[in-house]
Amino acid sequence: MVNEQKNLKVFGYGLAVVLAFIAYKVWRGHGWVAVHAALLAGIFLFILVTAVRYQALKPLYIRWMKVAHFIGTVITGIILSVLFYGVFGVTGLILRLMRKDLLDRKWDAAAASYWIPKGQAAFEPEHYTRQF
């Protein structure tokens, strides 16, 4: 309950700050216009509602969070796709152009086995206590 109260108040005052920033940008770019007056009215309305009865913001807050969640899901998918194809795709393309085979996947018909023997290390009892 306390967390919800805090979230609604932060949302109300935050929206007033965002509207104030937009109003400032409109005022700097176009001077005093009707849109500016509407933005100022919206600022005072959100400050008043948040100060007096913040629970009235709950339906707007819920819708806003649903839209924000949707936008976050879409943007996350886009960013991860760009990073994946940008990193792995470009790396794979460069390695193919350089004819590198980092995993030794080349087929060798003359090879009896593809087993790579491990070198023998000297036995040390300390290895049992610190295995990794």
In a domain, 105, yes or no: no
Identify the pLDDT of residue 104. 77
Nearest to 42 by CA among 30, 63, 57: 57
Is residue 11 within 8 Å of 64, Cβ to Cβ?
Answer: yes
What span, in angstroms and rounded, lies between the C-alpha atoms of 53 and 75?
A: 34
Q: What is the pLDDT of residue 1?
A: 60
pTM for the full predicted model: 0.62
Asked if 46 and 22 touch (Cβ cutoff 8 Å), the reply is: no
> How many domains, in total, are found in the chain?
1
Does 94 map to a domain? yes
The predicted structure's pLDDT at residue 88: 93
Q: Identify the segments of the chain with pLDDT beneath 70.
A: 1-2, 130, 132
| Any domain includes 60 | yes
What domain range includes position 15? 1-98
pLDDT of residue 82: 96
Count Cβ atoms below 10 Å from residue 11 Cβ, excluding itself: 19
Please check whether residue 27 lies inside any domain of the structure.
yes
User: Is 108 inside any structural domain?
Assistant: no
pLDDT tens digits, one per residue of 67-99: 999 999 999 999 999 999 999 999 999 999 998
Looking at residue 108, what is its pLDDT? 82
| Contact indicator for 8, 61 with CB cutoff of 8 Å | yes
> Quick check: is 107 in a domain?
no
SS3 102: coil
Alpha carbon distance 125, 108 (integer Å): 40
> For residues 59 and 55, what is the distance between their CA atoms, to the nearest angstrom?
9
